[in-house]
Amino acid sequence: MHTHTPASGAVNDHKAAERLAKVVHEGQRTIPEEHTPLVCKPNKVESWRIFKIMSEFVEGFDVIRQYGLAASFFGSARASFEDRVYRDATLLAGRLAKRGFAIITGGSSGVMQAANKGAFEAGGDSVGLNINLPEAQSYNPYLTNRFGFDHFFVRKVMLTYASEVYVYFPGGFGTLDEFFEIVTLVQTKKIHKVPIILFGKQYWGPLAAFIEKTLYEEHKAINKDDMDLYVIVDSVDEAYDYIVANISC
């Protein structure tokens, strides 16, 4: 007689689920009033922190699943670029909102506020996914829905999986980080190919040249067709037409 034994993978999954359930239950009971930052490798599993991270994932996905077609806008939170950058973000977001796109940003100031303003004034969905910092980042006043995260990586996952289009205006480290995150996920086929727009040839041109000459030509660190994963545009019309022509939903 043959006795059925579960596959080792199923057994391991069951054990992992039991451990997770235990940690979540303990974490829910032990959340401290003040959350100390995780600045180095912990010596033990902090159940409350795992519970908090899971809760943020659940709540974050609850927010983004409310929207069908969506476009994520990235760019500087500072008012340090020329006026055209913010004006174009407002105009493009407004046109996309009128076409039925929810506009999703980090919810703060600068380019994010400009994009939310365009969506809000067009009567569309204008969403802000902000980050909770010791020196609080204020939400801009043009949001129809908003959520604040304690963990950057959870917020990044939400921004990464929220949309069918990703638009990058000039910005700093955060904007560059988000661009390379998305283009890497598409390159490695972890997400479907989606329109990735770099807005502003003067700003993005030097980076594109570095990618082509240094990464591709000198070191063959990427494939030639990897440079087709994104497009650089210089006007609202160019960006809008490209998005409409390449959206797959």
Distance of CA 116 to the CA centre of its chain: 15
pLDDT digits (tens, 9 = 90+) for 159-216: 888 899 999 999 999 999 999 999 999 999 999 999 999 999 999 999 999 999 999 9
pLDDT confidence of residue 51 = 82
pLDDT of residue 49: 78
Tens-place pLDDT, residues 121-174: 999 999 999 988 766 668 999 999 999 998 888 998 888 888 999 999 999 999
DSSP code string of 104-119: EE-SSSTHHHHHHHHH
Query: Given a cut of 70, is residue 13 above it in pLDDT?
Result: no
Which CA distances in Å does 240 have to 1, 13, 115, 202, 205? 67, 45, 14, 19, 19
Instruction: Write the CATH number of the domain with boundaries 68-246.
Output: 3.40.50.450
